[in-house]
Amino acid sequence: DIVMTQSPDSLAVSLGERATINCKSSQSVFHSSNNQDFLAWYQQKPGQPPKRLIYWAATRASGVPDRFSASGSGTDFTLTISNLQAEDVAVYYCQQYYSPLPITFGQGTRLEIK
């Protein structure tokens, strides 16, 4: 199984500032068949199901504000939230689908307001 490791486990950022969350996979999730990284990001607010933010490592899902951006390739990925808003308080998960049996998620990163 591909192991996904996020860092940090939690972070506190001031409103209007930038938050950066990292995700590392135990093996590359880049597939040469379509030159894409099989990596997604989700946001889970308290008491809610996860919401897909990003897929193909850097493609924003429909309706996701452009304050959310993502980058990386191979084994190292980053989710960046610019101009942090109060509604961004959530747990964020990365997920690989390069090896979909099983699909695996990172352990999550809790984002709070400082």
Partner 1 sequence: EVQLVESGGDLVQPGGSLRLSCAASGFSSSSTWMTWIRQAPGKGLEWVAKINQDGSEKYYVDSVKGRFTISRDNAENFLYLQMKSLRVEDSAVYYCAKGHWTFDYWGQGTLVTVSS
**Which stretch in 13-21, 25-33, 74-82, 95-103 sits in contact with partner 1 by CB under 8 A?**
95-103
- Residue 110 binds partner 1, judged by CB under 8 A: no
Bond preceding residue 102 cis, omega within 30 of 0 = yes
Binding mask 32-51 for partner 1 (x = CB under 8 A): ------x-x-x-----xxxx
- Residue 92 binds partner 1, judged by CB under 8 A: no
CA distance 74 to 64: 24
Question: Which of 84/94 has CB closer to partner 1?
Answer: 94
- Residue 107 binds partner 1, judged by CB under 8 A: yes
Answer yes or no: are the C-beta atoms of 92 and 108 closer than 8 Å. yes
Residue 113 CB partners (closer than 8 Å, separation 6+): 12, 13, 14, 15, 84, 86, 89
- Residue 69 binds partner 1, judged by CB under 8 A: no
